[in-house]
Structure 1
Amino acid sequence: MVTGSGKTGAGSRGDAGPGLPAAPRRSRSAGKDSNRGKRAAAAYPYALYLPAAVVYVVIFLIPTVMAFYFSLTRWTLFDSTFVGLQNFRDFFAEQNLRVGFQNTFVYAVVTSGLKVVLGLALGVLLTSRLRLRGFLRSVVFFPVLVSTVAVGITFSVLLKPDTGLVDRALALVGVSGRDWLGDASTALLSVALVDVWKGVGLATVIYIAGILSIPPDYHQAVAVDGGNAWHRFRHVTLPLSRPATYSVIILSFIGGLRSFDLIWTMTRGGPGFTSDVIASIIYKQYQAGFYGLSTAGNVILFLVVTAVVLPLTWFLGRREVPS
């Protein structure tokens, strides 16, 4: 005797019970047609990538290939002579190249690290319940909009020994000033701190966006458990701001490795070669008329930045928690 529950169970498994038709099955051709339809639907939006691909090829890919070629030549505006790897050998024979590499990485690490720390601190402050937080956000972001050359010239005046505003302010509290840009031990660090002042606004904006995207339920859960502001920062804001932190690290580190205009405006690589970075060495070669040599230096800088940033991006991407 077959009960009703037995029929229901059989029907739920797709089996044909007594007097019941078998459940329809999808044919393979129907499945293939469906997959083809999905592929066709997914392929359509790729046309939207075409403008970006054209811009990428014209602005990045073609100039990069041309740079690789001209780095193997001695060239002027009118002709070029193929010399193979001679430009690279001459570039690596530069006496101040070792100092330039060292200064480049020191500058990138210092500026990137300070932008992460200060950007996070300002991001937390400017997402709190301050009455003037909108105005303060504008003040913090304003240096990003100012010309780098103008910033360099202004701080060169402010950091002048004895007569500069910084030394005068220090004299008021009984601290003797120094030649910040003329002393080999402080020139590079002084420029790096100015770079941080100018660029921390962008890092702060990234952190503000990251912090505001955190669901308020997490903060409420910490408050229910009796946590204070430090607990909210330690267990909610800091770990959930990691994507913003990784973005700031990558952007500021690339900017630090490629930095040139601020250093050249404030110190021109001096005193001597003590604040030279790779970009300023390349520019000096270009000024001297060694165009092929400077192009080889640009290729080397490109390869160095790529060799450092790609593993760093991969490492930070592995540590990011998927949503």
Structure 2
Amino acid sequence: MVATVSRRTSVKGPGRAAAAARSRIRSAYPHWFYLPAAVVYGALFLLPTVVSFYFALTRWTLFDQEFIGLENFALFFAEPALVKGLVNTVIYAVVTSGLKVLLGLPLAVLLTSNIIGRAYLRSAVFFPVLVSTIGVGITFTILMHPSQGLINDSLALLGIEGPRWLTDPSYALLSVALVDVWKGIGLATLIYIAGIAAIPPEYLEAARVDGAGRWATFRHVLLPLSRPATVTVIILSLIGGLRSFDLIWAMTRGGPGFTSDVIASVIYKQYQAGFYGLSTAGNVVLFVLVTAIVLPLAWFLGRKEVRL
């Protein structure tokens, strides 16, 4: 019996060693497979990010540089136009992300119900996401023209005098934000549709058995169980709103004056004017702003996430 046990041990020993060796060989390939992507990510994102923190402390051109410490940041926050861009950025991000949540969830509930033409309506809602942002900006610039635009002409037929959407300082930023919502609501709706589809049907069936109406089912079942989708929509919309540039530049160029400027458009104007150090400091401010808002918010919203 001892000999048998020893033979079994001797057989199992080399087998385990060979299995461990094969496991090490198999695990080596995925790690090396990540290397090209890691090199590209480091070269195109990590390295420029680190370098930008240094150049934000300098007055630089393409040929020389001068270290000036925090002077660029002091100048950034001392300029009213630059501070206005910072405030507008936060307002724009909050308005666009809030409206996408408020409109995306009801649309998703509608488009997951048994309505006629559901597939067509889903395509129609998602279509603006596929259109070029610059194309959308140019189109709505024409539609929102104060005297010749289709929107104000339609309001005139109802006896309503339309505002100067993009030339009135009181309306310019909000007008661009509404166009941003129109373009991005399809993605928010799609995320909510996926979230609703992931809810086990037993929950909805139990609500019907208990006699819950549509509002009660929405409030006590769909709304809390759609929280992961809501978190995703909020985070993605906030990041997009804080980094928004192309739509604003296509529609208003930050005008009239500086009333619809955001940090990204301010940075671009500073680059155009040759203030490279100041614009780099603006990029750092934008990076810190996005990080300071998104990371704590993602942690706060994710910790109370409903687990199915």
TM-score clears 0.5: yes
Q: 147, 153, 160: which one pairs with 2:132?
A: 147
Q: CA deviation at 1:80?
A: 2.8
Q: Pick the structure with more helix per residue.
A: 2
TM-score (norm 1): 0.83
CA deviation digits over 1:264-305, x for unaligned, max 9? Answer: 111111111111111111111011011121111101110111
Q: CA deviation at 1:95?
A: 2.2
Alignment of 1:284-295 (within 5 A): 284-295=269-280
Residues 41 and 226 of structure 1, relative CA distance in 2, 3 Å threshold:
farther
SS of alignment partner, residue 74 of structure 1: strand
CA deviation digits over 1:144-166, x for unaligned, max 9? Answer: 11111111111111001121101
Q: CA deviation at 1:73?
A: 2.3
In structure 1, what is the equivalent of residue 235 of structure 2? 250
Q: CA deviation at 1:74?
A: 2.5
The answer on whether the counterparts of 1:162 and 1:178 sit within 8 Å (CA) in structure 2 is no
Q: 167, 189, 210: which one pairs with 1:225?
A: 210
Structure-1 separation of matches of 2:33 and 2:225: 32
The answer on whether the counterparts of 2:134 and 2:250 sit within 8 Å (CA) in structure 1 is yes
How many residue pairs get aligned? The number is: 290
Q: 67, 74, 78: which one pairs with 2:59?
A: 74
User: Structure 2 counterpart of 1:282, which letter?
Assistant: I
Q: Gaps (5+ residues) in structure 2? A: 1-12
In structure 2, what is the equivalent of residue 176 of structure 1? 161
Q: 80, 94, 98: which one pairs with 1:113?
A: 98
The answer on whether the counterparts of 1:127 and 1:208 sit within 8 Å (CA) in structure 2 is yes
The answer on whether the counterparts of 2:76 and 2:83 sit within 8 Å (CA) in structure 1 is no
TM-score (norm 2): 0.87
SS of alignment partner, residue 68 of structure 1: helix
Q: CA deviation at 1:98?
A: 2.5
The answer on whether the counterparts of 1:170 and 1:176 sit within 8 Å (CA) in structure 2 is yes
311-320 or 241-250, larger mean C-alpha shift: 311-320
The answer on whether the counterparts of 2:172 and 2:252 sit within 8 Å (CA) in structure 1 is yes
Structure-2 separation of matches of 1:315 and 1:84: 35
SS of alignment partner, residue 212 of structure 2: coil
Alignment of 1:133-144 (within 5 A): 133-144=118-129
SS of alignment partner, residue 259 of structure 2: coil
1:53 matched to 2:73: no
SS of alignment partner, residue 81 of structure 1: strand
Paired-residue identity, %: 68
SS of alignment partner, residue 66 of structure 2: strand
Q: CA deviation at 1:47?
A: 5.3
Q: 159, 163, 168: which one pairs with 2:148?
A: 163
In structure 1, what is the equivalent of residue 186 of structure 2? 201
User: Structure 2 counterpart of 1:199, which letter?
Assistant: G
In structure 1, what is the equivalent of residue 48 of structure 2? 63
Q: CA deviation at 1:210?
A: 0.6
Q: Which has the larger radius of gyration?
A: 1
